[in-house]
Structure 1
Amino acid sequence: MPLSLVPPALPQFAAAAPSTPLGPFADSAVAWTTWVTLMGFVGLTALALLAVGPAAARTAPDAVPNLTVRLARAAVVIGLLAVPAVLTDLAHGAAESGGYDYAAAWNSLYDGSNDGRLSGLEVTFSLLGAVLLAPLTVRRIAAGRGRRWLLGAGLTAGTVALGTTKFPDKTPDDWGRTAFETLMWMLHLIGGGVWLGGLAGLLLVALPGALPGPLAAAQRTAFWSATLRRFSAWAMGCVAAIALSGLFLYWEHVDGPTQLLTTMYGRVLGVKILIFGGLLLLGMFNQFWLHPRIEALRAAGDQRPLTTVLLRTFPVVVGVEVLLALAVLFVAPFLHGSARNQAYQADLAKHATTGGAGAAAGDTRPLPKLAAKQATASTWAWGTTETLAVIALMVGGYRVSGNLSRRRTGAIAPTPASQPVPEAG
């Protein structure tokens, strides 16, 4: 996106170059735990509701209770863990000595301030989501008609809890800009939660014991084929949401690629982008090689190679994706401030007048900051073009992977199970 802001003139003097440390490791670890629990709950619940449940209902109905129970139990545990994670984050922020003041954190919930209300909603809806999914940890209830309603209600509660982390905590001066920024954050967080938490859920489903033992081999393969296809569709939508919201946040906080190397914010963001790129590469491997291969082997009726792919290759790839996802969430809390302001403040210090009052030792005046960027007609044009390009790329990729599945399926003639088909290259 093009820039639309001319930096203000440099003052006659400035303070020394600002320090932009990464911050204490403990702070980021606490924040990481909060993000993992909140986003993990959303992803696990969404996977059960949107991919695994519908796929199992169509291909292997007897497996629906087992799969629901496994994912619901994991979601309940992580939803309950979100409550102490959020309180720990609040306690760390409330402690003046750098420790943890849990009493102050608890008292801050619903204390009448906007921050208190948002923190209270975050804790309340995290707990509510876990309570709503708790009945689904019982197989008899998981097999009932209320399964989808409980999953939908739990997903809504978890999404609200996640959203409160980026809801405005004060009345905005510019409602339009604030609403758009909040929307971008919601796309970023919810898209990330559904995709990254869903990957963890797939790993749980791929582990032994998720599918009932008596289930026919044909049903197992049909289930995996349908599940992976449904999850792929949702995952590509999430990638589009993350990419588009990430482009906006990049435009808002970074003035050009050079700041990815010259500022601390940019370097941390660069690491995050590299890890995210690794996730995309593995996702492409799944989408364009592994999933079409599984689909072709399923259609061929050969169970041995398919079992090998599912029990070895697929969990390993997804496990690596989960580790990269956790790494992305760990890096994110180190993003402090803005690359634009860090570069601007460093430039002020570089051009400071020698011996000026601002450069004197002990100067505690607040460092100047650039005004927020303002979108112009050109900005909206570029943003619209980027949006259309990302959507076209995701839709095109999904269609191409489907065509690959059909071609591989047509290339392998169905054979009896006693005559296994060699694995496709």
Structure 2
Amino acid sequence: MPVSDPSPGFPLLPTAPAPSTPLGPFEDSAVAWTTWVTLIGFVGLTALALVVAGPAARRAGAAALTATTVRLARAAVVLGALAVPAVLTDLAHGASQSGGYDYGAAWNGLYDGSNDGRLSGLEVTLILAGAALVAPLTVRRTAAGPARRWLLAAGLGAGAVALGTTKFPDKAPDDWGRTVFETAMWMLHLIGGSVWLGGLAGLALIALPGAVAPAARGAFWPPALRRFSAAAMSCVAAIALSGLFLYWEHVDGPGQLVSTMYGRVLGVKILVFGALLLLGAFNQFWLHPRLEGLRAAGDLRPLRTVLVREFPAVVAVETLLGAAVLFVAPFLHGSARNQAYQARLAEHAGGAAALGDLPKLPAKEVSTSTWVWGTAETLAVLAVMAAGYWLSGVLARRRTATAVPLAEEDLVEA
């Protein structure tokens, strides 16, 4: 998107080193990280069970469907239950006047009549309701029954809205159009990250022994990975597009990625996200086509080797990188635009003023060129994602077509 710098002129006063923007207390970010991990993990695991693992497990048999559903549901319920004290701890830390934790004030603040109280109350209520809806699926009989899909869908809906309350506006906006668009971008960012990162953690759980029987792995994993690839690429597109909008809104050019604290933290987040993309490309263009070829050849031994050694290791690294992204995100305070603007004001004022006491820039104005650039970026991201998914499918079909079936004695030996 086009870059603009609407900063007004500065008075010609003696200069001094501008104060640096604080990174923020580590404790605050650690508490926020716990909240994000539990909320995003619940949504991601539930979405994986509903959209990816369930349809793939049906092909592998009823036992695989039951086992994968129970494992993912148990992990989702644990995260949903942990999200409640995590959210309350975050609220208690913010409510404390001494920097500690005032749980009484946090609890009394839920549904206290203010918009903040309503949103906080909905966050706690809905994530608890989502965990309660998924809880019956931790029992094998219910996980194999017809209610499985409806319980997962209802739990996912409750968890997604609970996650969204963290970014819903807490007062009536002056510009409804812009606020609705910003909220939609945040929802794309959060839901996309949840399905992708939470799904990676879920795949790592399913890859552990006991979820899918060895005889069913060949029927389960290729379609499961193909489905997850489609979901993950859609999530990457959503994250990229919403991230570009947030970058345009908070950063005035690449120079602020190194000159402001917000930009440096965002730069670290972008680097970690880039590493995640590289690992995802490795899965998409090498590991998944290889699994398709092994399955077509009936090669159970190498397939098991790939699943046990290579695939879980890559997914575990991706999950850790995803957790790192969530850990870095709470350090993003304010915006690079305001930090650069206030630093220049403080510098020209002799460095005497604190950054928090200085004025802030108004929000960027949306122009025709903004929509043109935004539309072009959207089309480009969608084209790249679609081309990548198509190319990985071509590679998988080529490996399947060139696979040489094993002899019967080789299968018996495997």
Decide: shared fold, TM above 0.5.
yes
Does residue 302 (structure 1) correspond to residue 299 (structure 2)? The answer is yes
Matching residue's letter, 2:243:
G
Instruction: Give the superposition deviation at 1:365.
Output: 7.9
User: How far apart in 2 are the matches of 1:301 and 1:417?
Assistant: 10
Contact persistence 2:59–2:219 (CA under 8 A): no
- Residue 327 of structure 1 corresponds to which residue in structure 2? 324
- Residue 60 of structure 1 corresponds to which residue in structure 2? 61
User: How far apart in 2 are the matches of 1:296 and 1:80?
Assistant: 41
Q: For residues 341-367 of structure 1, what are the alpha-carbon distances to aligned partners after superposition, in whole Å with 9 as ceiling and x for unaligned? A: 111111122333x6xxxx657x79821
- Residue 359 of structure 2 corresponds to which residue in structure 1? 368
User: How far apart in 2 are the matches of 1:285 and 1:96?
Assistant: 49
User: How far apart in 1 are the matches of 2:181 and 2:251?
Assistant: 18
Instruction: Give the superposition deviation at 1:15.
Output: 10
For the residue of structure 2 that corresponds to 1:10, the secondary structure is: coil
Q: Give the one of 206, 228, 238 matched to 1:241.
A: 238
TM-score normalised according to structure 2 size: 0.96
- Residue 8 of structure 1 corresponds to which residue in structure 2? 8
Contact persistence 1:8–1:370 (CA under 8 A): no
- Residue 132 of structure 2 corresponds to which residue in structure 1? 131
Does residue 104 (structure 1) correspond to residue 95 (structure 2)? The answer is no
Does residue 251 (structure 1) correspond to residue 248 (structure 2)? The answer is yes
Matching residue's letter, 2:381:
V
How has the CA–CA distance of structure 1 residues 118 and 409 changed in structure 2, closer, same or farther, with 3 Å as cutoff? same
User: How far apart in 2 are the matches of 1:12 and 1:159?
Assistant: 51
Contact persistence 2:4–2:252 (CA under 8 A): no
- Residue 222 of structure 2 corresponds to which residue in structure 1? 225
Instruction: Give the superposition deviation at 1:419.
Output: 3.2
Matching residue's letter, 2:266:
L
Once the two structures are superposed, the pairs formed by residues 148-227 of structure 1 within 5 Å of their partners are 148-212=149-213, 217=215, 219-227=216-224
Q: Which moved more, 1:23-32 or 1:343-352?
A: 343-352
How has the CA–CA distance of structure 1 residues 403 and 22 changed in structure 2, closer, same or farther, with 3 Å as cutoff? same
Instruction: Give the superposition deviation at 1:409.
Output: 1.3
User: How far apart in 2 are the matches of 1:267 and 1:274?
Assistant: 11
- Residue 41 of structure 1 corresponds to which residue in structure 2? 42
Percent identity over the alignment?
74
Contact persistence 1:34–1:89 (CA under 8 A): yes
- Residue 373 of structure 2 corresponds to which residue in structure 1? 382
Instruction: Give the superposition deviation at 1:4.
Output: 4.6
Instruction: Give the superposition deviation at 1:418.
Output: 3.2
Contact persistence 2:66–2:140 (CA under 8 A): yes
Does residue 413 (structure 1) correspond to residue 407 (structure 2)? The answer is no
User: How far apart in 1 are the matches of 2:410 and 2:399?
Assistant: 18
What is the aligned-residue RMSD (CA, Å)?
1.7
Which consecutive unaligned segments of at least 5 residues does structure 2 have?
Answer: none
Runs of 4+ in 1 over 3 A off after TM superposition: 11-16, 417-420
The number of aligned residues is 410
Contact persistence 1:41–1:78 (CA under 8 A): yes
Instruction: Give the superposition deviation at 1:168.
Output: 0.3
For the residue of structure 1 that corresponds to 2:9, the secondary structure is: coil
Q: Give the one of 384, 389, 404 matched to 2:395.
A: 404
Q: For residues 203-222 of structure 1, what are the alpha-carbon distances to aligned partners after superposition, in whole Å with 9 as ceiling and x for unaligned? A: 0000000124xx6x2x3212
Contact persistence 1:172–1:178 (CA under 8 A): yes
Contact persistence 2:279–2:318 (CA under 8 A): yes
Q: For residues 155-187 of structure 1, what are the alpha-carbon distances to aligned partners after superposition, in whole Å with 9 as ceiling and x for unaligned? A: 000001000000000110000110000000000
Q: Give the one of 388, 391, 394 matched to 2:382.
A: 391
Once the two structures are superposed, the pairs formed by residues 250-329 of structure 1 within 5 Å of their partners are 250-329=247-326
Contact persistence 1:4–1:376 (CA under 8 A): no
For the residue of structure 1 that corresponds to 2:410, the secondary structure is: coil
Instruction: Give the superposition deviation at 1:3.
Output: 2.8
How has the CA–CA distance of structure 1 residues 417 and 36 changed in structure 2, closer, same or farther, with 3 Å as cutoff? farther
Matching residue's letter, 1:323:
L
Q: For residues 62-118 of structure 1, what are the alpha-carbon distances to aligned partners after superposition, in whole Å with 9 as ceiling and x for unaligned? A: 311111000000000000000000000000000011000000000000000000000
For the residue of structure 2 that corresponds to 1:192, the secondary structure is: helix
Matching residue's letter, 2:138:
T
User: How far apart in 1 are the matches of 2:122 and 2:19?
Assistant: 36
Contact persistence 1:301–1:417 (CA under 8 A): no
User: How far apart in 2 are the matches of 1:325 and 1:198?
Assistant: 11
User: How far apart in 2 are the matches of 1:289 and 1:364?
Assistant: 49
Instruction: Give the superposition deviation at 1:59.
Output: 3.2
Which consecutive unaligned segments of at least 5 residues does structure 1 have?
Answer: 421-425
